[in-house]
Each structure stands twice: as structure tokens, then as C-alpha cells.
Amino acid sequence: MSASGPFDVVVAGRGAVGAAAALGLSQAGLRVAWVGPASATPTRHTDWDSRVFALSPGTRDLLRSLRIWDALPQERITPVYDMRVYAGQQADAPELHLDAYRGQVEALAFIIENRTLMTTLEAALRFAGVATIDDTVTDMSCEGKGPAGRIRLGLGSGQSLVAKLAVAADGADSTLRTLAGIEARVSDYPQRAVVANFESSLPHADTAYQWFGPDLGVLALLPLPPVSPDRGRTSMVWSAPTGLADELSAMTGEQLAARVTDESNQMLGELNLITPAHSFALRLIKVPRLIAPRLVLIGDAAHAIHPLAGQGMNIGFGDVRQLLDVLKGREFYRDLADELLWRRYERARVEAVSLVQTTTDALQRAFGPLPAPLVGLRDLGWRAVASSGLARRLLIARAVQ
């Protein structure tokens, strides 16, 4: 089979969501091509990757069914058993404590570095014989109708790929989405996420911490594999108002470590920077349709959200699960690109995605600058949730999906 096909499916986008989709489709017996520029993640395994994800137990189950989870280096995965979330930074700020034990779940999340996840996914794709093509999709057209029809993806190199179906996993600025004429509604958050890893003088006890505040934005410290039983390692995701994010990005390592030590009320003792800080623009992206003729959108190409709930990648993996479920339920007489099939996918995803988008957006706004009476109302609501066992169990039930 040449790299130009024909294939059953072409997956465009070599992030983790595209990789999982390509692997699942190949394991379902389809001829799959996976196209996109090779990732530029660092390759030295002694270093720590400051791009980390909190994967939900639901995502763990998907990765297990793809035979990826048990192939991951388990010493680089940190389970989160407790989450402590503070509405403010004062010593008496109301705390919301979620814990896996009382929520009756194995763990609230699993923290993993992007590089660790990608290395294992790429090895599995090679093993599965998926054609991996280092190129960029620049053009798209449909040819013919019904089972004889095809989609053609033109590439930056001038070559093209032909398949029955294309899956767009090419991220928030998806070219395939634009080529299909699907217009996304994009709103920029007035914040940037600054990420970096630290060693800490105190252990984290497998706990994730988060502080919300109008001047602060959202500061999260996620547990990484510890240095020793009494010294921790932690990964920061600080969604800071733009001015503050610029300030943080311009700091020296010592200045940044001192600032985070301070803003986190020394919860993990003294911090020491171990990876350079990087920053990311934050956007809310909503799309009116998740499908077009011979095209299915997944991952950030289909939705982007604020990272405060650590759910963007998880809903992308939820798309992959649904895509594979739709295929599994395909009637023998239905063509792979049958629109009816992919309407089932769209219907199943719209509600789940919109719920997460609405909740994270509302939380981001609630902790932005508010008139005084609304601040009082928000704090009241927070205390009510924090003191209700039922509300905490419901929050856990949502987070682990």
C-alpha cells in the first residue's frame, strides 16, 4: 500500500487525540493513514515535560481498551487521590475538598506528561502498521457519491491522500474544519496559561491544589512523581490575567519559584523551578456542526475550553470513544462515510461537550472581576457546595468520566 492510499480513513493531526483515534480505527481493522507535522516535544527522557495532562479514569479506561495504558511507564503516572480547591488566597478562604475515598472512586485523575503519552501512542501506531505521514493538509475535496465516493486531502508537499472518510484532529485552528466551511465561534479569554514544573521541599501526598481569585486567575499545582518520600515534584498550570502572565513569563527561575511559593501559601513548602516556563493563549471555541460530508471533527478541532477543570483532552478522548462506538454499531450494509452513521456521533457528543464548555466558562467568569453583591453570592454558593456531601459526590462523578 503506498502512502497515498487508498485508505479507509485518514486522521489529520498528530496530537494525542488524533493518535488515539488512528490507533482505535486501525485496531478495528481499517486501513488508516495518520498525517500531520511530527511533534516537536523534547526527547530526553531524563527531563520533565512541562506539558502535563490530568487524565480522567474514563480516559484511562479508553487507553486501556486501546492497550496503551499498561504500556505506559507507570513510574511517570501520578494518581490524584485528593483535590483541594480554594475560592481566594486568604488563610480562611473557603475550601472545597474532593477525595477519591469518600467519592468511592479509585482516583480522581492521573497526571501524565504529554511526551510520555505520545511516545507510547507513537510506538503502538508503528506496531499497528499505521501509515504515518509527516506533512500538512492544505486542501480537501469530495469525489463521487455513495460507496464509490472518496475524500481527497491535498498536502503541503503537493501529494494527496485519498480515503473514504477523514477525521479532523488538527487542533483548535483546524484547517480541515475551515476547508469544510464550518465556522467556529472563537472567544479569547483575557488570560494566558503559564506552565512550569518545580521540585518542592514538602511532599504533595498525591493531592492537586487549585486557587481561584480575580487578580490571580486560576493557579493549579498538580502532583508529579516525587523526588523522595519527603520532597515532592509539582506541575503548575497558572491561568493568569494577560498582564500578570506576561510578568510571570519575563521572570527568572528564582523569581517565578518565589512567586508561586508565595501565592500557594507555601502549601508545598519552598519551590524550585526544574523546567522553563511556557505560556499558552486560552480560547473558548464552539462549532455549530461536528460533521460534514466524509468528515468528522474530534478533539480541539471540535471544541476548545478553558483548562481550569483539566477536561479539554478528556473530552477529546470522549470523542474518540464515541467514534469507535459508532463504528462498532455500524450496520453491515452501511458505508463507512454514511451520513446517518456520523449523525449518531454528533448527537451523542453535542450535549456532553456543551455541558463541560458551559460549566468551565461559567466558573472562569465567576472568578473574574465581579460587582460586590455577586462576589457575596458566589462565595455563598461555594460554601454550600463545599459543605454538601451530595454536591461533592456529583462533582466527582462528573470529573471521572
Ligand X SMILES: Cc1cc2nc3c(=O)[nH]c(=O)nc-3n(C[C@H](O)[C@H](O)[C@H](O)COP(=O)(O)OP(=O)(O)OC[C@H]3O[C@@H](n4cnc5c(N)ncnc54)[C@H](O)[C@@H]3O)c2cc1C
> Of 78, 77, 79, 82, nearest to 100 (Cα)?
82
Stretch that binds ligand X, among 116-124, 170-178, 206-214, 329-337 (CB under 6 A): 170-178
Contact between 53 and ligand X per CB under 6 A: yes
How far apart CA 74 and CA 319 sit, in angstroms, is 25
Residue 3 in 3-state DSSP?
coil
Nearer to ligand X, 54 or 94 (CB): 54
Q: Any contact of residue 310 with ligand X (CB under 6 A)?
A: yes
CB of 291 to ligand X, least distance (A): 16
| Amino acid identity for residue 173 in this structure | D
In 3D space, the residue among 110, 117, 24, 54 whose CA is nearest the CA of residue 322 turns out to be 24
Shortest Å, Cβ 101 to ligand X: 22
312 counts as binding ligand X under rule CB under 6 A: yes
Coil, helix or strand at residue 335: coil
For position 37 contacting ligand X by CB under 6 A, the verdict is: yes
Interface with ligand X includes 154 (CB under 6 A)? no
Q: How far is the CB of 78 from ligand X (least distance, A)?
A: 12
Find the binding residues for ligand X in span 268-287 (CB under 6 A): 280
Partners of residue 2 on adjacent β-strands? 5
Alpha-carbon span 277 to 353, nearest angstrom: 30
36 binds ligand X (CB under 6 A): yes
Single residue of 120, 275, 314, 360 touching ligand X by CB under 6 A: 314
CA distances from 287 to 122, 184, 186 (A): 29, 5, 9
17: which DSSP letter?
H
* Of the candidate residues 24, 103, 316, 318, the single one contacting ligand X (CB under 6 A): 316
Nearest Cα neighbor of 41 from 110, 121, 158 is 121
Rule CB under 6 A: is residue 311 a binding residue for ligand X? yes
User: CB 332 → ligand X: shortest distance, Å?
Assistant: 31
Find, among 2, 290, 296, 26, the residue nearest to 140 by Cα: 296
Select the span of 258-266, 289-297, 313-321, 368-376 touching ligand X (CB under 6 A).
313-321
Residue 88 binding ligand X, by CB under 6 A: no
How far apart are alpha carbons 159 and 133 in whole angstroms?
A: 11
Nearest to 256 by CA among 282, 281, 238: 238
307, 342, 364, 392: which one contacts ligand X (CB under 6 A)? 307
> Binding of ligand X at residue 299 (CB under 6 A)?
yes
54 lies in the site for ligand X, by CB under 6 A: yes
Q: Which amino acid is at 370?
A: L
Residue 163, interface with ligand X (CB under 6 A)? no
Using the rule CB under 6 A, is 18 a contact of ligand X? yes
Taking every pair of C-alpha atoms in the chain, what is the biggest distance, in angstroms? 67
d(CA 220, CA 111): 13
Distances (CA, A) of 301 to 32, 150, 298, 327: 19, 22, 6, 20
Does residue 170 touch ligand X according to CB under 6 A? yes
Query: Contact with ligand X (CB under 6 A): which of 169, 248, 297, 326?
Result: 169
Residue 237 interacting with ligand X (CB under 6 A): yes
Which one of the spans 14-22, 23-31, 241-249, 338-346 is the region binding ligand X (CB under 6 A)? 14-22
Cα separation of 387 and 87, whole Å?
A: 14
Cβ closest to ligand X, residue 30 vs residue 218 = 218
Residue 17 makes contact with ligand X by CB under 6 A: yes
A 10 A CB-CB count for 29 gives 9
User: How far is it, in rounded angstroms, from Cα 161 to Cα 4?
Assistant: 5
Least Å distance between CB 87 and ligand X?
Answer: 20
Q: Give the 3-state secondary structure percentages of the chain, helix then strand then coil, rounded to 5.
A: 40, 30, 30
Q: Which of 22, 63, 195, 287 binds ligand X (CB under 6 A)?
A: 195
List the one residue from 11, 163, 184, 193 that touches ligand X (CB under 6 A): 193
Q: Kindly tell me which residue out of 14, 31, 115, 349 binds ligand X, with binding defined by CB under 6 A.
A: 14
Toward ligand X, which CB reaches closer, 137 or 267? 137
For residue 35, state whether it binds ligand X (rule: CB under 6 A).
yes
Determine, following the binding rule CB under 6 A, whether residue 238 of this chain makes contact with ligand X: no
How large is the angle between the packed helices 16-27 and 312-328, nearest 10 degrees? 20
Return residues touching ligand X (CB under 6 A): 12-18, 35-37, 39, 53-54, 136-137, 169-171, 175, 193, 195, 237, 280, 299-300, 307, 310-314, 316
